[in-house]
Amino acid sequence: MKDKPIAAKIILPLANEKDTGEEFLGLSGTLYRQNLIYAEPRELRKVGGTLELTVTFQDFGSFQSWENSPDVVEYWSEKFNCVLTSSPKTVEESDVIIDVDETENCSCNSSAFYLLYGRSLQFTNELVCGTCLGQIPYSSIPAFIEIENWQRHYQRVYLNWLESSFFEKEAYKELTNYKKGKLNTEGEKIRKQLSEHFGIPVYINLFVDQPDANHSCLICGGKGVSSGLKTPSSICENCNTAFN
């Protein structure tokens, strides 16, 4: 058995060629959380009636059997069956030089704080070091902290708002119900668990429809203190939020 990184494409043949494929944006996050691939991909490309996700698998076993991973089966099998014409195809790429050491992960020995973001359309890091702005890999987070489940929930609500669909108003209410909405209370629970696990403050960046450099903490209305970063420039140490 090979024991080396494998560059590959995961090809997802869409049943409806007009489908945008946005429902598969979180697939790479699941693969990364399960330690099946190296640094999470930043591009899901649509080619004709298929989606292509370029990844680097940890080893041959991951390349060969990623579809059997428990989280993949739990969260993605139904979509594979309903949205695709057939099972995903995993194709090894040739003539690729793999540099698995060049990642965007946090490389700090210590950090003053982390930033927690909700998942949206942009492939931005979702848990970020406040010192180097590198990502904190999900593989370093214990399974009982269900950050991936919350990110999927967040993404569904965000897409409903973004697409101006029938559920736009309801999605907007959920995104902006900072104190009592299920989405944000789930996020606050995750934030607390992350802070306790890593032993440092974790600040959550809440949704704002029209961001600007002058708004206050969305929970208490306070001005907060400087974060030391360009964006977000402020943190509220009372409410554990990041803004501006």
**Total domains, the chain:** 2
Indicate if 84 and 118 belong to the same structural domain. Answer: no
Rounded to the nearest 10 degrees, how much is the dihedral formed by the CA atoms of 172, 178, 182, 183? Answer: 70
Indicate whether 191 belongs to any domain: yes
Rounded to the nearest 10 degrees, how much is the dihedral formed by the CA atoms of 215, 219, 220, 223? Answer: -30
Indicate whether 10 belongs to any domain: yes
- Residue 101: other Cβ atoms inside 10 A: 7
Indicate whether 69 belongs to any domain: yes
How far is the C-alpha of 236 from the C-alpha of 113, rounded, in Å? Answer: 12
How far is the C-alpha of 148 from the C-alpha of 126, rounded, in Å? Answer: 10
Q: How far apart are the first and last CA of the chain?
A: 51
Indicate if 154 and 193 belong to the same structural domain. Answer: yes
Indicate if 127 and 177 belong to the same structural domain. Answer: yes
Task: Name the most confidently modeled range: 40-44, 82-86, 140-144, 148-152.
Answer: 82-86
**How much is the pLDDT for 103?**
46
**pLDDT(98) > 60:** no
**How much is the pLDDT for 225?**
93
Burial of 182 (0-12, 13-18, 19+ CB in 10 A): exposed
**How much is the pLDDT for 68?**
92
Indicate if 222 and 146 belong to the same structural domain. Answer: yes
Indicate if 130 and 203 belong to the same structural domain. Answer: yes
One-character DSSP codes across 191-221: HHHHHHHHTS-EEEE---SS--SS---TTT-
| pLDDT tens per residue across span 138-184 | 778 888 999 988 988 898 888 888 766 678 889 899 999 999 999 99
**pLDDT(95) > 80:** no
Indicate if 185 and 128 belong to the same structural domain. Answer: yes
Domain of residue 67: give its range: 6-92
Q: What is the mean pLDDT of the chain?
A: 85
Indicate if 73 and 121 belong to the same structural domain. Answer: no
CATH of residue 50: 3.30.70.100
**How much is the pLDDT for 101?**
45
Which secondary structure element, helix H or strand E, spans residue 171, and what is its range? helix 168-176
Which secondary structure element, helix H or strand E, spans residue 120, and what is its range? none
3-state SS class at 112:
coil
How far is the C-alpha of 129 from the C-alpha of 108, rounded, in Å? Answer: 8
Indicate if 57 and 121 belong to the same structural domain. Answer: no
Which of 92, 126, 144 lies at the terminal end of a domain, its last residue?
Answer: 92
3-state SS class at 89:
strand
- Report the relative pairing of strands 114-117 and 202-205 from DSSP bridges: parallel
- Bridge partners, 243 (sequence order): 234
Indicate whether 101 belongs to any domain: no
Mean pLDDT of the region 4-10? 84
Indicate if 81 and 151 belong to the same structural domain. Answer: no
3-state SS class at 28:
helix
Indicate if 127 and 200 belong to the same structural domain. Answer: yes
Report which of residues 1 and 211 the model is more confident about: 211
Task: Name the most confidently modeled range: 18-27, 82-91, 138-147.
Answer: 82-91
Indicate whether 99 belongs to any domain: no
Indicate whether 28 belongs to any domain: yes
CA angle (55, 153, 192) in 5-degree steps? 95
**pLDDT(100) > 60:** no
Indicate if 119 and 10 belong to the same structural domain. Answer: no
Indicate whether 84 belongs to any domain: yes
| pLDDT tens per residue across span 183-224 | 999 999 999 999 999 999 999 999 888 777 778 899 999 999
Indicate if 65 and 156 belong to the same structural domain. Answer: no
How far is the C-alpha of 229 from the C-alpha of 227, rounded, in Å? Answer: 5
Indicate whether 169 belongs to any domain: yes
